[in-house]
Structure 1
Amino acid sequence: MNETNTIQTGPVDKTAIRNAATVIVLRDRLTEPRILMGQRGAKAAFMPNKFVFPGGAVDPDDAGVPLARRMPQVCRERLLQDCESDLTHALATAAIRELWEETSLILGQKAPWEAEPPKDWAGFAQAGYVPDAHPLQFVFRAITPPGRPRRFDARFFLVDADEIATDLDDFSTAQDELSHLQWIPVQKVREFDLPFITEVVLAEIAARAHDLSPPENVPFFNNSKEESMFQRLKGRGPLSGKKISYDED
């Protein structure tokens, strides 16, 4: 098993590629689409000052967290492609946890937990919810290029804001990792200071904001090897792609 597909259980190697999940919450998608974003701190080691989607690395406990429902099968199949172990459950729960921690929005169903939740999930469980992964739609994957202070194998998930169980404008219990949390109109997002890969993902989302169905395939910026490749994940068959060359902020 290579490090790209390993859930870290010991001390974090800052140069290793860590699995991560990012959530793109799309509001009013059929009328005036808006996306939830926040600003990273000026002293952050990774992407300081940039406006980003909620997200972060997979924690070891995420794999054992119960789900009310799994992600749709087509998304699970595409997550498994070019991945030596099944991380679909851990990625789904990580996405929901990061969304809750960084924005206080809950993607879940009202239900009691059958066992005591991990420490990072205690507040989620106390609110009376079990995480629900079914609304998550896998739409993008990108591995951070070499030479960055942190490297992630990030999977991006789109979720319709109507699926959120709590007040969409209440960020009062969010952690302080992201500031200036706000719903930004899709047509105005590029006025903000964005990472390169975020701009690429936004172009994909803007093109299909009114389409509720899963994409035909999932774009994959694969920087895990010496040559950077742009590929498409279809959930079956061998991967093919073309070389890419770009500068990321």
Structure 2
Amino acid sequence: MDSLVAQERKPTAPTLRPVDAATLIIIDRKGKHPKVLMGKRHAGHKFMPSKFVFPGGRIEASDRSMTVTGALHPRAEQALMARVVRPSTQRSRALALAAIRETFEETGLLLGTRDYVSPDRVPVGTTWAAFQEHGVFPDLECLHFIGRAITPPKRVKRFDTRFFAVDRTAIGHEVGGVVSPDSELVELTWVTLADARKLDLPAITGIILGELEARIAGGFSHQIPVPFFHQRRGQFVKELL
């Protein structure tokens, strides 16, 4: 679920506290023009019907305890803990794992490495069991933190979403049948950044695509500052973390 879409304003609605969420952008950089994986949401959804989005969603309790290999890059971790109340490495780790888990739930793609045996323990009764079953260890080292955005006030739903990116080579396994006419995402497509902008996108998704293009052109380094989009005194601002 791409949770930073500009939603219908509710002038009389109370200002909700944003919920922590994460999104994952999978990039194929093998060709001359990089491509990203996007999914089309079901037309019957009340939230963003038929929009093209990146997979993602909110943190779940299991994301805080799942076994992983590798660690977030120190610069990514630093940016994840900036401008956060009670920052912690555990929270940063959970955000990254939420992006990986949601991507599997919505696309059937398991991100991680098969260089080791299966994780010896996973949170009971959760999606993470599929990673154990298919011998894929979630790998945080391959993730790039590329953006953050908070849904403006007076929206029905508000999210504080972190955008991660990973190369297509990080796909460890694919489970078929997850995307179907009756699922949350009814279609998956690999598109160039230019073609992605022509799709029916949430506003923030288009902004992040522009940031991603600039980041790729700049060498896709962890050291590139991370943009943080939020409202300040009623104005939409971009801050660098």
Q: TM-score, normalised by structure 1?
A: 0.80
Distance 1:58 1:223 in 2: 23
Alignment correspondent of 1:237: none
Unaligned runs of 5+ in 2: 1-14
Q: Which one-letter code corresponds to 2:60 in the other structure? A: D
Contact 2:118/2:131 (<8 A) preserved: no
1:223 is matched with 231
1:1-249 to 2 correspondences below 5 Å: 15-28=16-29, 31-84=32-85, 85-86=87-88, 87-110=91-114, 111-118=117-124, 119-166=126-173, 171-174=176-179, 176-210=183-217, 211-223=219-231, 228-233=236-241
Could you state the TM-score of these two structures normalised by the residue count of structure 2?
Answer: 0.82
Q: Distance in 2 between matches of 1:29 and 1:212?
A: 14
> Any gaps of 5 or more consecutive residues in structure 1?
1-13, 234-249
Provide Cα deviations, 1:138-159, integer angstroms capped at 9, x if missing partner: 0000001123222110000111
Give the match for residue 7 of structure 2.
Answer: none
Q: What does residue 9 of structure 1 align with?
A: none
Does structure 1 retain, via aligned residues, the 8 Å contact 2:39–2:185?
yes
User: Among the aligned pairs, what percent are the same residue?
Assistant: 37
State the distance in 1 between where 2:225 and 2:141 align: 18
For residues 121-174 of structure 1, give each alpha carbon's deviation from its aligned partner in whole angstroms, at most 9, with x where no partner exists.
12222111221111110000000112322211000011111222235xx75335
> Corresponding residue for 2:8?
none
Greater RCO structure (CA 8 Å; 6+ sep)? 2
For this pair of structures, how many residues does the alignment match?
219
Q: Deviations over 1:67-123 (max 9, x none)?
A: 111111110010000112321110111011011111111111233223243322122
Query: 1:46 Cα deviation (Å)?
Result: 2.8
SS state of the match for residue 109, structure 1? coil
